[in-house]
Amino acid sequence: MRPQATAARPTFRAVLFDFDGTLADSYPAITASVNHVRARYGLPPLPVAEVKRHVGRGPEYLLRHTCPAGSVPDNVAEYRAHHPSVLREGTHLLPGVYETLKRLHERGLRQGVCSNKPVAFTYQLVDIFNLAPFLDVILGPEDAGRVKPAPDILLLALARLQLPAAEALYIGDMVVDIQTARAAGVTVWSVQTGSDEVGALRDAKPDRLLSKMSDVLNLLA
């Protein structure tokens, strides 16, 4: 009897990451800035768990859903002005992230960040955590024009890296990341460390569902 054929494992030349909830726990910093904006209107502070639900779809979405007073553009501007004051102390890398990026870099994989986070803040945190040597591209909504789940940010990263979609992997923590990757034709893995519940991630059908970032090293061995 002829042995059953098995599908070949895809060969990736680049791994692209979301930032908040995927590489770093930045929810305390984000919450502090949201509550700074709310305080301008006499609104009580929100807990991290409530703010976390609205992270990952861009600053306009975040402020629209967490601050019912004022205008969204004004609130986003106030948020951006405040955020550098809490960025460092309110953000930390998730377990295994630094070692994973370092080892993937040593294996010759191209890497990048594609996040709805304002790109200036991503650059600052990349420098703070010494991730810059491992990254070939860092993109935010200002670069892409449209926020995720539009595929623009991944398509721009692929163009910068001069790679086809079939040779890239995207790793995120939200359903919106899965939707973005599907729209861009990119393989997507989800890690259970961010904003969305495991059930929601599973229902969105990523190509793999990981419990932690360090799982990536074995899967890409």
Residue 66 neighbours by CB under 8 Å, 6+ apart: 34, 37, 38, 46, 50, 51, 54
Catalytic residue among 18, 152, 177, 196: 18
Question: Catalytic annotation on 18?
Answer: yes
Active site residues: 18
